[in-house]
Amino acid sequence: MQIRNYYYKLKRYLRYRKFKSCNLPYPFFDNKRDTFEMVSYYKNNKSFNVNESIVEAIGDISNHGLIYHYQKSDCNKKDNHIKSNEYISHCHNFDELVKILYDYPESFNIPKKFLHEYSKQELDYLKDAQNYLKLIGLKDKKISKKQEDLYVKMDKLYDKRPLKIFDKIHLKYLEYLDKRLWKKLQNEEFKRYNNDLDLIYSNYRRIYCKNKELANAYINGTKNYRIYRKNKYDRKFIGEKYFIIDDDYKYLGVVEVIKEKIIKLKDLKEDMVLYRLVGFNTYKEYIDNMIKEFKEDAKYYNETFDLNSDIIFVTYKVIEKF
């Protein structure tokens, strides 16, 4: 064991020794291990600080960090957590938080008293991601009964410090059994990441609705159309499928394009659109706003847009409701 630890420390020192002059985090990509790290050297205690997160690396030198509290109902005892429906934990970067959400999409939750720790953009991302993972039926990660029994025994030894010689040997044996068990169960765990629904849904596009009234109008068939500006890079719309998503990022169903036609904007008639549903009092306001938005879009293609320009009027049908 001592020889192995010595070899590990030597290998680590040889990998990072070129950064001994860097007291600020240096961005290092290791080609051999295909990893990106921020590496600095603490001269006071003669040690390397290696961090995979640039947020945490800069936080170390600025003495400022981030915190995100969250809740999940089923906690992994391998991390010395307690299984509880009220378990609240925290992490220090957003990537780590998303990993927790990915592992526990069913039970992941942010208690109201911690919502102030999150930006609106972060909350929107988490809601959308969690709702999609639930939609495809991804379950919380579980541990087997054998693993759970092992972790209970290991927890008792961890709490028993300082350990006697026999306890140390026993703990190493349990860790060995745990490692073997993980390898044995890995093929079973692969099944969690083979999702048939995602294979289907990954090709679907999304329509994000600014309110529930608009989202419900799509799903009940009241609003069965959408208008696009025609440009030189246009694709065929017929057959495309779209998720209908409300303002709370809830997936309501799927619509499919069944018809598309190209017309001049000036030929669009008032009875063809539901302008009040999207927040306009008059048809003129609706058209003026469309011209304004499409003009902005046209600039990216070095094109122009006016009443004589072409638009694509697509028609949907509802094919699935959730």
Q: Where in the chain are the domains? A: 2-62, 68-135, 145-193, 204-321
What pLDDT score was predicted for residue 85? 52
Quote the mean pLDDT of the chain: 89
Confidence of residue 45 (pLDDT cuts 50, 70, 90): confident
pLDDT of residue 1: 55
* Residue 157 pLDDT exceeds 80: no
**Which of the four pLDDT bands, split at 50, 70 and 90, describes residue 84?**
very low
Under 8 Å between Cβ of 36 and 29: yes
- pLDDT value at residue 155: 77
Residues 267 and 308: their CA atoms lie apart, in Å, by 9
What average pLDDT does the segment 105-123 reach? 95
Q: Give the range among 87-101, 102-116, 175-189, 242-256 with minimum mean pLDDT.
A: 175-189
Give CA separation, 102 vs 56, 125, 204, 253, in Å. 21, 12, 21, 22
Residues of the chain above pLDDT 90, percent: 70
Q: Which residue has the higher pLDDT, 84 or 307?
A: 307
What's the average model confidence in pLDDT over 193-214?
Answer: 95
Structure-token pair, residue 273 = 């659109």
> Whole-angstrom Cα distance, residue 98 to residue 61?
25
Report percent pLDDT > 70 for the chain: 95
Amino acid 154: pLDDT? 77
**Dihedrals phi, psi of 50, to nearest 5 degrees:** -115, 125
Instruction: Give domain 204-321's CATH architecture.
Output: Roll (3.10)
Q: How far apart are CA 63 and CA 61, in angstroms?
A: 5
Return all residues near 132 (Cβ < 8 A) that are at least 6 apart: 201, 251
Give the three-state DSSP class for 308.
Answer: coil
Residue 8 has pLDDT above 90, yes or no: no
What pLDDT is stored for residue 110 in this prediction? 95
Question: What's the whole-model pTM score?
Answer: 0.83
